[in-house]
């Protein structure tokens, strides 16, 4: 059986209203700031360029061609027909929040509706994955829109969730490896891992250095070559499992809590690429206890630092409520450590 492709199909015979419905759906979801793509099947072949134009000559000579203009671009590529849809969907999925497919009746899509030209028309029995057959008289956009919204939520809920803990930096200001500092007999690295584990399918360690015996069964993913700092570890994890959503946390967060992790996860939603918290008194965002959807990988690949994402579309920068804000307090110096270890002031009633 062909793999299910992560795209929503709009199928029907010519003249059934596919383009009209798709135009309404695209307008609706694009207005919600989702990045939407449409793959259209034309059995007669593509007519995207005029004979004799330079770009057409390049294509006929064997090259794949990308045309660019102000605010737009058009690509034309040679494909193998049997695999062209799967290749197109797999190429678009890491970048687009929502992919619609018009036609491709034999493809195994995640969801599909069939549009009738009239109420007497029979739906072909061999079209896979049809969730509903819609007559011309029905409010097609009103029916399909919540179906697409439910599918987008389902994709978020079923995307694997992993965690990467960054450790083993030079710790020059602290003067000793921060991940091996202890609170209550437990290293900070062990505490961060234990806090994240109930929420994710897999925890991996990112970086290098001594690993406490209790964590030596965890995978240690080496830094991505050519990258530096936390970005090298984060990209290494996202390349290691590019289909997962990633919670990243630095090892020097001894106040990290389950409540803070839960708060981050609950901020997820369609169109969200990453969640980089912004503390009320901070000048920037906190990218090293943050959540990155799998679609954030391409953004990170093009960045010099994770905080660069804060200004990009689809990246949320919410402020945590005060009761969990301490979870983002990292410890960089002996002064920070001394303050952390000070007993809380006694309250006199």
- State the DSSP string of 288-303: TEEEE-GGGHHHHHT-
pLDDT digits (tens, 9 = 90+) for 293-333: 999 999 999 998 999 999 999 999 999 999 999 999 877 77
CATH 3.90.550.10, the chain: domain bounds: 161-341
Instruction: Give this prediction's pTM.
Output: 0.87
Alpha carbon 85 to chain centroid, angstroms: 21
Fold of 5-158: Rossmann fold (3.40.50)
CATH architecture of residue range(s) 161-341: Alpha-Beta Complex (3.90)
Strand partners, 163: 203, 247
| DSSP letter, residue 242 | T
Collapse the DSSP code of 39 into the 3-class scheme (helix H, G, I; strand E, B; otherwise coil) and give the result.
strand
Look at residue 210 and give its three-state secondary structure: coil
Tell me the longest C-alpha to C-alpha distance in the chain. Answer: 88
Stretch (H or E) spanning 114: strand 109-115
344 band by pLDDT with thresholds 50, 70 and 90: very low
- Higher per-residue confidence, 232 vs 53: 232
pLDDT band at 153 (very low <50, low <70, confident <90, very high): very high
Average pLDDT over residues 139-163: 97
State the span(s) of the chain assigned CATH 3.40.50.300: 5-158
CA distances from 172 to 75, 134, 181, 230, 240 (A): 49, 65, 14, 15, 29
pLDDT in tens, 77-104: 777 654 578 888 999 999 999 999 998 8
Pick from 232, 229, 234, 252: which is nearest to 328 by CA? 252
């Amino acid at each position: 059986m062909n793999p299910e492709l992560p795209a929503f199909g709009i199928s029907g015979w010519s003249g059934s209203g596919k383009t009209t419905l798709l135009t309404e759906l695209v307008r609706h979801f694009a207005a919600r700031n989702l990045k939407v793509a449409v793959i259209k099947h034309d059995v007669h072949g593509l007519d995207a360029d005029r004979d004799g134009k330079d770009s057409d000559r390049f294509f006929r000579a064997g090259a794949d061609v990308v045309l660019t203009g102000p605010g737009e671009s058009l690509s034309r590529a040679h494909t193998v027909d049997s695999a062209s849809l799967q290749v197109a969907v797999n190429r678009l999925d890491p970048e687009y929040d929502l992919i619609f497919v018009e036609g491709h009746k034999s493809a195994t899509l995640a969801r599909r509706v069939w549009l009738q030209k009239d109420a007497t028309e029979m739906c072909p029995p061999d079209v896979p994955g049809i969730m509903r057959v819609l007559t011309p008289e029905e409010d097609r956009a009103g029916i399909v829109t919540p179906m697409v919204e439910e599918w987008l939520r389902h994709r978020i809920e079923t995307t694997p969730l992993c965690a990467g803990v960054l450790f083993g930096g030079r710790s020059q200001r602290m003067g000793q490896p921060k991940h091996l500092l202890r609170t209550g007999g437990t290293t900070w690295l062990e505490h961060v891992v234990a806090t994240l584990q109930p929420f994710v399918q897999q925890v991996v360690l990112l970086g290098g250095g001594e690993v406490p015996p209790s964590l030596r069964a965890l995978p240690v993913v080496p830094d991505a070559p050519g990258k530096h700092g936390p970005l090298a570890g984060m990209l290494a994890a996202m390349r290691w499992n590019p289909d997962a959503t990633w919670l990243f946390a630095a090892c020097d967060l001894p106040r990290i809590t389950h409540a803070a992790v839960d708060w981050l996860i609950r901020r997820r939603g369609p169109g969200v690429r990453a969640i980089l918290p912004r503390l009320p008194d901070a000048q920037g965002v906190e990218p090293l206890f943050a959540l990155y959807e799998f679609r954030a990988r391409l953004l990170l690949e093009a960045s010099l630092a994770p905080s660069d994402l804060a200004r990009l579309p689809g990246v949320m920068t919410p402020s945590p409520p005060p009761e969990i804000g301490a979870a983002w307090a990292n410890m960089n110096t002996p002064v920070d450590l001394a303050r952390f270890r000070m007993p809380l002031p006694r309250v006199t009633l």
